[in-house]
Structure 1
């Protein structure tokens, strides 16, 4: 039986009096809940405190866990360099996570460093804990650019280490909720903000951890949250256990949602093994998409499935409509699993004899040649959702007023560098954001005299 306590907490630096300078009194519920949690941790007297932070150093393709004797940090970046801390690190616990990660197919990268650093997502909860209890060692868990499923598998590695080591362990999942709750807030307002906070706090209150996993990525992205993946890792550490949950407080007076909650294991429960349920939800979603796909998406799907199964490109089907056979165009094929990008490759202009061949070529490339991802495996085919963008004419612009991130994609060029961004992408709401991302993809300095072209697409998804 796993005897474990975990907490969800936010990490607003303004809650530190030396930073807030009185503003922290506006989130008094959050302050009181933090003290309540810190006092509870002091009663537990854990040997190890695990803090999952979205602001720890993160890699796109693995979980980065350096091993050091100690870690330190300060709130200097927030104007309070006198508020600092140093903690001892549980090196053996991290080593065991690295070993266990191989059993659960989780990608963890670790190496020894002289001293690790503490980010504010870690330091804010420690600021309160250290007022009541300091006889612990720290394990800092980062996020990554990997999938939701990979984050959950990492947490299963952590659970296995907790069981083996038989230490008293407390889990802290650090993360703010939506950053877009109020027009007067620093990030503005979007309707998905309050809706996300309602959904996620209801899940906290009821202990519905599956809800953490199945919230749609586009919805979460629009809400501008930073805590969900921390919560997913925490949820996975409880995998297979029925949990008592208690939402301690929620507020968002500054336009950012702050929730604090407590969770305790009660008993083993096979129905709480969530990964199979999550995978079924993904497959069911992909089946719904498949049943409603048009001929463009069907061709992309069949092209990749044939290649992964037979290790060669399929021949162009003979029963395709005229526009696929008799027209040429650039095509982008995008692949997603549970709303998360899994591959995207395309051409800005025609490179084959027709649109059909362009789709076949780029569907295979999206699944096997996107350098950001490993090639698609056979066991992923039934989880994939596809979209196909057929590009219109590319034309230069006269001014930024000619751009619209919903209607037009952009191509930026400078010397031998170029970057493209499709239109109507989640989280890209302004021309400035669109150009910033395209320039970053091309590794072009915004101060360089780059050119901009625009194009429209017909999207099939």
Structure 2
């Protein structure tokens, strides 16, 4: 079956010579990621809007030899519960035909839980088609494709499907392309905040090996910005699956090459679409997974925590935080807020896993530490003036095989035994001279377990690190 072009003359030029000249112009950029490349993120709008960022991404493939390009794309035309593959055959553009890799396609279709053959989904879909002239300009007809469309909200299925694609790529000379635009129809200033938050979330998901993080980030972001936009990323599903495929291939980073939006092209920023292009890579050494918070950001978060406590004093609640102009503050975050007066603990509340965006969690847990810690009476107006506020932003939990893997003075420890659990932040190490004393106290004082429970095989230990900062 030959899938004929559906958007030639609309999204890109239908005349072969003009199309080739335009694509060659976009490909003049020489973009090179710093890490080992496994895949690219490319927008899929009309070339007048997204051709330049698309060219920046595809230009990184110029000197790479590969036989197959897997295209994980947004499915716009019909609902899909699984990854949708086309029928056997080829896709046609004004530059010729690109053959579907039948062996690869057939291998994926063996898993009927994750993939299905759905030619109708591909018939009028532009998200795959607009990538093909770039591939043809670079490699002619030498490279085959495996187009897969996604639009389900099932994050678990998307991760499974992405990892299945990654496994299938391992024994082949293959790269992948994620085809997605970003926000749809917010004002330009909101688009820049939302889009840069999404792109940062993709980087954090890669650095922390968590496609679920990306899914959660988009859910939180849309809840804050839904009055302004239709979606945070039309290809959120494809991006989630792409991140999973990249992780399966050993990648640990996402490198942004270009960001723009339609208003920067048309001059009309009243209702725009965002476009990002970048690279899924394996960096060496592996980049840290923590959010990178500047000194000014930390000061703003401490001030936000103090305002949250002040608001609770006056109204009994912490107000919800709006969309932040800082993309870092819109990221999912595990946070603890600790209150001290004169060097003595006055309250500490937080979470070991992300339950909301960083700004929301700082404000909320500051209020909870001041008024809901059962070990202390509620903070008063007089107390507020004396408080020293400390914020700890946690890395993801990492399960360890035993106490020998715990680094004194570096790791926070979360301990679980049956239905009992407890944690000590890394800052607590200063109260103990030995690791054994630290862990025994954690068992007895925080988890309600015998002091030596950390030695038992049935006890599960997790470590984490923190970026902690305080007013004093």
So what's the TM-score if we normalise by structure 1? 0.46
So what's the TM-score if we normalise by structure 2? 0.45
